[in-house]
Amino acid sequence: MGVYGYIFLAPEKEHLVSLEKQKDVLWDYVLSIGLKIDDFFIETESSLKRPLRQRTEGGKMYQKCRPGDSVVVMKVEWVLGSAGEASALLRIFRKNGVALYCVDLEGNISLDEKRKLIVSNGCAELVQKLLAGLAVCEISKHGAAIRAAKKTRKEEGKYLGGPVPFGWEVNADGFLVENREQQKIISVIEVMRQDRWSFRDISRKIKEEFDILISHEGVRRLLNNKKKRAGDRRK
């Protein structure tokens, strides 16, 4: 009967727990339940979004597990990956008689356990911890998908989001294009500035003439952005 400690060194800083810390936690836990770790599998080149069975060390550990063996991990999200992967992995472990101990859930989540008769707090806290663990996995996947989508849009020259600057609009294909009516107003602003109008006076005049509220600071930024874009086009 083998007992394997699974160490997950996350590449994401927000999920990283040191190797020494994880080993200490796992040793304390297995000793408290009367077990002893035979081997550690230390994952260093994977991410939460990758299923355990497809990871380098996770895959080796999975292949090594036999009926009666136990896997111990500090946090449930480090082995489950997603709701679908969790269901499949726990089903296989249960069928094969492999125990999966998660320290943060304080128990074996793949096999039934015999427990002493104690006053029970029910399953609410366990379910909340499990859902919180799965949420971390899903957030990690969602964040990666967002970053990939933004990278693709940037490479295609499409607008990445945020407030659309005055004088522009986003077309149906996702590109930032000039708004003709607003560009006419920008041209009027440029003429007034060339005639030495102050930013505050320009702001008041645009409000009177076009019923559009642009602060004096907004006028200044608008003209600076216009110059910057003109400079970029000349490069």
Which residue in this structure is represented by tokens 């407030």?
Answer: 163
Res 121 pLDDT > 60: no
Are 17 and 68 found together in one domain? yes
Element (H, E) at 111: none
* Among 84, 119, 136, residue at a domain's last position: 136
For residue 21, give its domain range.
3-136
CATH of the domain at 59: 3.40.50.1390
Rounded Cα distance, 51 and 219, in Å: 52
Are 65 and 122 found together in one domain? yes
In a domain, 128, yes or no: yes
Are 118 and 181 found together in one domain? no
Are 190 and 112 found together in one domain? no
**pLDDT for position 130:** 63
Are 131 and 172 found together in one domain? no
Name the more confident of 5 and 1. 5
Question: 76-87, pLDDT tens digit by residue?
Answer: 888 887 777 777
Question: 124-167, pLDDT tens digit by residue?
Answer: 455 456 656 666 656 555 555 556 656 666 666 676 677 888 88
In sequence order, which ranges of 109-211 are alpha helices (DSSP H)?
A: 124-155, 180-194, 199-210
**pLDDT for position 40:** 96
